[in-house]
Amino acid sequence: MSALHTRTLTQLADGLRRKSFSSVELVGELLARIEKSQPALNAFISVTAPEALEAARAADRALAAGAGGALTGVPIAHKDIFCTEGVRTTCGSRMLDSFVSPYDATVVAKLKRAGAVMLGKTNMDEFAMGSSNETSFYGPVRNPWNLQLVPGGSSGGSAAAVAARLIPGATATDTGGSIRQPAALCGITGMKPTYGRVSRFGMVAFASSLDQGGTLTASTADAALMLREMAGFDPRDSTSVDTPVPDYVSTLEQPIAGLKVGLLAEFFDKGLDPDNERCVREALRVFESLGASVTQVSLPNLPMSVPVYYVVAPAEASSNLARYDGVRFGHRCENPRDLNDMYRRSRGEGFGAEVKRRIMTGTYVLSAGYYDAYYLKAQRVRALINADFVRAFESVDVLIGPTTPTPAFPLGAKTSDPITMYLNDIYTIGANLAGLPAISVPCGFVQGLPVGLQIVGPHFSEARVLSAAHAFQRVTDWHTRVPVGYA
């Protein structure tokens, strides 16, 4: 067997261009791995094998003709939150179980244009609401490092698929940590760009002032390559920002000597597992050995980020998810008595427990008499947290801390208590509230489970964040570890 799956996305793109192997060969190998892994991992909701092989054949023809883009013939998977023309797009929900998107999300179209070949749609928490991938209508995803554990969420399928080397790169979205937290728990690299950097058009909306698309890959170099092809202005997204996209690949090697690193004091709290802390502190020493200076930075309002998030995100979700009314698309109940009965039963049947909880929380905090006390108050505290970040970036280039408080936890361990589940995202939510780019990279192992290191930068500093993470990966090999059974 050719074992192409062990190569990184960057290596695969190069190998295809050199014609060391064909896209058909590569896609065939990975489709077989996906099929074999599916009963244990459940990382995919849909596998599009015939379309993938057809696209691979077209890619091979383009490569033979010396044509093609940066990713021609490279297999990728999309989180099932991205609309894919002619392919079922479920968002992990019964509500969209039979929804076949009539158009491509901008991210999907851009990656297609770059030549990437989609192998399927990955499993996720329903409407991206969850931190363990257990709220999916299609069943939980399991962590390839230990099948009794969760992969994290909401992009758990994308993360597990990349960790198990089923796919070299996958798209994902991050509203409160949904790229970085599963990246940390699965031992891979997860990049959430600046809010507005990657188009949200065709990306099913959860919380519109927080949602941002990004990448899950084995390495930072792969993230740079994929992000370069995904990012950019899109007139169809009203919050897309019209600034040029730097070539993240060519800026990867910029040295980090002299880089001013801020250690996020608030992240080293009593909730942080001591072994996770040890890994993160060792990683900080690596940065120092590379010539970076590390100083402690305090963001006093940051501990309020989880309560702010659990007002703002449900509020935005409750209005975004109002569109699922059983009229134009999505689930419709049987034999509705009247219009109101149709709305109520279609939504009651179509949404799962956590989605209903968030819709109701959002409805409550936006309702007359509570709007000021909850919603406006949360937006004010959000401004305080944002101001903390602005102040911090006056004295440091990037902020570093853990991605999660603990390594992966057992399935079912936190499903009965929403607050415990919400606190998984305690270190990741801040970057969403302030709209900042942030990456999680593997920085060690605790009892055989990966630990994530988080690097956060100011708005539109993706190149800086990626080069800092890349410098770390050049001198460490945590990101090259593969779970037993998937090597």
Partner 1 sequence: MALTREQIASIATLARLELTAEEVPVYQESLSRILDFVGALERADTANVTPMAHPLPGLAQRLRPDEVTEVDRHERYQLNAPLTAAGLYLVPRVIE
**What single string gives the DSSP state of each residue in 46-105?**
EE-HHHHHHHHHHHHHHHHTT---TTTT-EEEEETTB-BTTBB--TT-GGGTT-B-SS--
Query: Judged by CB, which is closer to partner 1: 42, or 318?
Result: 318
Query: Judged by CB, which is closer to partner 1: 435, or 442?
Result: 435
CB of 368 to partner 1, least distance (A): 10
* 140 within 8 A of 133, measured Cβ to Cβ: yes
Does 260 qualify as catalytic in the annotation? no
C-alpha span between 388 and 430 (Å, rounded) = 10
Give alpha helix (H) positions in 270-407. 274-289, 305-320, 339-350, 353-366, 377-395
CB of 156 to partner 1, least distance (A): 22
Q: 23, 79, 219, 240: which one is catalytic? A: 79
CB of 438 to partner 1, least distance (A): 12
List CB contacts of 352: < 8 A, sequence separation 6 or more: 93, 94, 126, 135, 137
Query: Judged by CB, which is closer to partner 1: 70, or 241?
Result: 241
C-alpha span between 77 and 157 (Å, rounded) = 10
Q: 46, 178, 305, 318: which one is catalytic? A: 178
CB of 419 to partner 1, least distance (A): 5
Does 154 qualify as catalytic in the annotation? yes
Does 155 qualify as catalytic in the annotation? no
Query: Judged by CB, which is closer to partner 1: 430, or 444?
Result: 430
C-alpha span between 327 and 421 (Å, rounded) = 33
C-alpha span between 195 and 212 (Å, rounded) = 6
Nearest to 123 by CA among 45, 70, 12, 66: 45
Query: Judged by CB, which is closer to partner 1: 103, or 139?
Result: 103
CB of 242 to partner 1, least distance (A): 8
Q: 154, 155, 240, 318: which one is catalytic? A: 154
CB of 175 to partner 1, least distance (A): 12
* 74 within 8 A of 155, measured Cβ to Cβ: no
Tokens of 267: 């992240």
Query: Judged by CB, which is closer to partner 1: 222, or 237?
Result: 237
C-alpha span between 345 and 169 (Å, rounded) = 38
Residue positions annotated with a catalytic role: 79, 154, 178
